[in-house]
Structure 1
Amino acid sequence: MRIGEVGVAKGMIVRVGQFCQGIVKKGDVVHVERWKWMDGLGWRSIAKIGDANLPCEETWRDGIKEGEIISEGGLDWPTLGYVSALVIALL
């Protein structure tokens, strides 16, 4: 997923294998999240900087489609693709 609303926010979330990482910049403030799949435990947040909620959990939801819009924290994140990795971004 990627967002890129001029003057509002810019960011991206990428999931590859057992890791998912997201970053968003709102003005001069940067927010980051990192998740990891842990056997027997499922997805767990392993790092967070800032207080924004990034829609990282959406990357492991069944049925997500390219072009789908995911709204979180007042931002719309369009999904860009899903092959072996899912990318959702603020353009």
Structure 2
Amino acid sequence: MRGLGDHLSIGERIAFYQKRRGYTQPLLAGLVGRSTDWLAKIETGRRNSPRIDMLAKLACILRVSLGDLLGQTVLMEDERQQDDVPAVRDALMSPRQL
């Protein structure tokens, strides 16, 4: 979540990436095997953040790094780890802005 700032909670980051991917709450909740109510409570902070294994699963489904969901600051990019395919896919799949 580079550029969005560090003020967002983990739940808010999940909601951000969910919307960015075009996923509904029921779809994302189903993909991780949880209820829509559970996901809504996580996103709004009415429930504690999920365990790390669930966060890793969410990160995988949302196609972001675990560090992005946790709000970890990126100090230096590892050139060997860069993968532009998700960014290109997102650009091609995003709704057109007229």
Q: What is the TM-score with the length of structure 2 in the denominator?
A: 0.22
Q: Which has the larger radius of gyration?
A: 2
Structure that is richer in helix per residue: 2
Structure that is richer in strand per residue: 1
